[in-house]
Amino acid sequence: MVLIARRALRVLQLQRRHVSSAVGLAESSNVATISLKNAATRNALSLAVLEDLHTALGRADGAGAIVLRSSSQQFCSGHDLDELRSATADERRAVFEACGAVMRALRRAPPVVCAVRGAAFAAGCELAATCDLVVAEPAAKFATPGVKIGLFCHTPAVAVAAALGHPRRAAELLYTGDPISAADARDLGLVHRIVDDADDAAAALAAKIATVGSAAAARHGKRVLARGVDVEASYARARTAMVDGLEHADAVEGIAAFFEKRPPAFGARRRFSTAARGPGRRRQLSTGFEHLSVVDAAARLEADAAATYLDCRSAAEVATGVVEGSVNIPYPHDGDAELIEPAEFVADADAEFARDDTILVGCRSGSRSILAAEILVDAGFTNVLHVDGGMNAWFQAGLPVAPFTG
C-alpha cells in the first residue's frame, strides 16, 4: 500500500511539474512522455529548452520506457539560430555542451521511442537519431541542412553516423543538406516504422517495452546494443568544430541570408576539373571569391591603406623585386606538383595578418594565386582577394615594384 501511494505521488509530481512551457513531462502506466511544445519556433533547441529537456530526462529516469514527441505538427527544427548568431563564443559553447548533455542522457535513459511528424532537421535529426527507436509519419522529413548556411552539422553527424552504422551511409544527408523522406530514412535505418499516427504508435511501443519484462534487463541490453563508436570523443571534436564554424565568414553570411530569406553568397565556392598536364593529369582549382585584375589590385592598394599585397613566391623565385609594400610568404608548392603543406603557409600568414585584414594574393602564376587564396579562406581569413594573373601579370603591366629585402 505504501509503495502504491509513493508511486501515485511520483506520477502526480511528474504530471504537475512541467519543466517549462516549451517542454512537457507526464507519465502513465510506467511510460514517461516528454513533449516539445514550442510550435512558434518549430521546437528549436535553445539553451533553455535543452536544459529543460535534460531535466525532464532526469525525472523520467525511473520509467520503464520514454516517448519523445512534439505536441505540434513539426518535430524539431534544430538549434535556435537566432540565439546562436547573437551569442558569444562561450555562450555558443554552453549551447553545444547542453546539447551534448541531452544526448548523453538519452543514451543512458530507459529505452526511448521517438515519434516524428513533420521536420526533424539538424539538431532535431540528431535528437531522433540518438533515440533507441524512431516511428515516423509518412510526411516526416529528416535533414542535416547546415552546409547550406555555411555551418556543417558536425554534432548531428556524430549521432546520425552512429545510428546508421557507418559515416558513408550518412554522407549524402550531410554533404547535400537535402531533406529525405520517412521512407528513405527507413531504408537507411534512421526510421524503424512508418505509421499513420506517430504518437499512438510510439505510446503503444513504449508501453510494450515497459511491461514486457525486466526494466533493468532492457537498460543493460541498451548498453550492449550501443554501436562500437567512441561517441564521446566524436562529440568533443564536433562541439569544438561547431563553435569554430559559427565564426567562419560563410556561416555568418549563411545565417544572415537565412533570416533575410535570400540565397547566401558564400565566399569560396570551389569547382574542380582536370586538365592534361605533361605525362599525367593534375587537378586544377578555381574559386568563386572575388577576383581582381592587376590594375584593380594596384588601385585598391593605393586607395586602401589597410590592404596588403601577399607575394607568395619563394625567395629563390623573387628575381627583381616585389610589389611595393607587399609581404612575402613562400607558398608551399613545388612547381606544378600538388600542394604539399598548407599548414606552414597558414601559420606564416597568421604571424603576419589578422583574420579580417584585406589581403590581395598573388604568386608567380594565376593558378598558384588561386590555390594560395583558397587556403587562406579555408583557414578563416575573411577578406581575401585573388589577383588574376599573379606576379607575372603585375610585372608585365609595369606596376610599382620594390627590391625584395627578406
* pLDDT digit string, tens, across residues 128-158: 999 999 999 999 999 999 999 999 999 999 9
pTM of the model: 0.61
- pLDDT tens sequence across 3-46: 333 333 333 333 333 445 789 888 888 899 999 999 999 999 99
Q: Of 43-47, 108-112, 330-334, 350-354, where does mean pLDDT reach its minimum?
A: 330-334
Give strand ranges (E) for 29-80: 31-36, 65-70
Phi, psi of 311 (to 5 degrees): -90, 110
pLDDT band at 317 (very low <50, low <70, confident <90, very high): low
Q: Which residues are catalytic?
A: 363
Q: Which three cell numbers stand for residue 289?
A: 571569391
pLDDT band at 401 (very low <50, low <70, confident <90, very high): low
Distance, in Å, from the CA atom of 248 to the CA atom of 150, rounded to the nearest integer, reads: 8
Residue 254: half-sphere exposure toward Cβ, Cα within 13 Å: 21
Strongest mean pLDDT among 66-80, 247-261, 294-308: 66-80
The answer to whether 255 touches 149, Cβ cutoff 8 Å, is: yes
The answer to whether 180 touches 143, Cβ cutoff 8 Å, is: yes
| pLDDT score of 366 more than 50 | yes
- Mean pLDDT, rounded, of the chain: 79
Dihedral sign for Cα 344, 346, 347, 349, please: positive
| pLDDT score of 344 more than 90 | no
Instruction: Say whether 386 sits in a helix, a strand or coil.
Output: strand
The contacts of residue 80 (CB under 8 Å, 6+ apart) are: 41, 44, 45, 46, 47, 49
